[in-house]
Amino acid sequence: MQLNGSKNLANRTCWVFDMDGTLTLGIHDFEAIRATLELPVGMPILESLRQLPTEIAAAKYEQLREIELELARQATAQPGAHELLALLRTQGKQVGILTRNGKDIAHETLVACGLMDFFDPTLVLSRDCHLPKPEPDGILALLNSWEAAPTAAVMVGDYKFDLMAGQRAGTATVYIDTAGEFIWSDYADYGVRSLEAVVNWLEANNSLGL
Ligand SMILES: [Mg+2]
């Protein structure tokens, strides 16, 4: 599981999660979304929208919201998500979400996959309230709410922007890649193929303080 360095995970009290593809099963086909919105191939969607004239961007943004809302209603939890969040809550740890999705869409997604009860709604941060990842602003805002230092935090995500945001904020980073390819491992302290692996690892290492 360990990729780089030797950062302590079990003693970290603040856990920030990406949502889509991390706590949920990945169903977003970003290339198809880009094609529908007629945005450049391979470029991040939010950043591409920001380059467009205001009126065109507004229309495409609305189209994006509709696509995302439809995907939100189909969302299912990543195997191990319930177990990991329940374990962290039982251990008295803080949990929050930082997503590049919209706030209402994030709530719709979490309700659809039965994970909303684990989160204080004010700790589900989205592109509507903070600069999107890879900027670290959302992570720093969560840490501010918890009055915690980055060294007490973990960022968990399935995409390089999640891991980059964690690195920039100074947290430990856990990279989930169900395919096990770990192409962005340079940005991660730990790599896992499932959230169950994190549960098992925490249970095994908790008493050792690793
Ligand atoms: Mg993701």
pLDDT of residue 209: 47
Nearest to 170 by CA among 1, 53, 12: 12
Q: What is the pLDDT of residues 36-50, one digit of tens each?
A: 999 999 999 999 999
Ligand 1 center to residue 144 CA distance, Å? 23
Instruction: Work out the pLDDT band at 1, boundaries 50, 70, 90.
Output: low
Residue ranges near ligand 1 (ion) with Cβ within 5 Å: 18, 20-21, 158-159
Going from the Cα of 125 to the center of ligand 1, the distance in angstroms, rounded, reads 14
Residue 28: per-residue pLDDT: 81
Closest of 92, 78, 105 to residue 194, by C-alpha: 78
Q: Calculate how far, in angstroms, residue 208's C-alpha sits from the geometric centre of ligand 1.
A: 31
Give the pLDDT confidence of 118-175 residue by residue, as tens digits.
Answer: 999 999 999 988 999 999 999 999 999 999 999 999 999 999 999 999 999 999 999 9
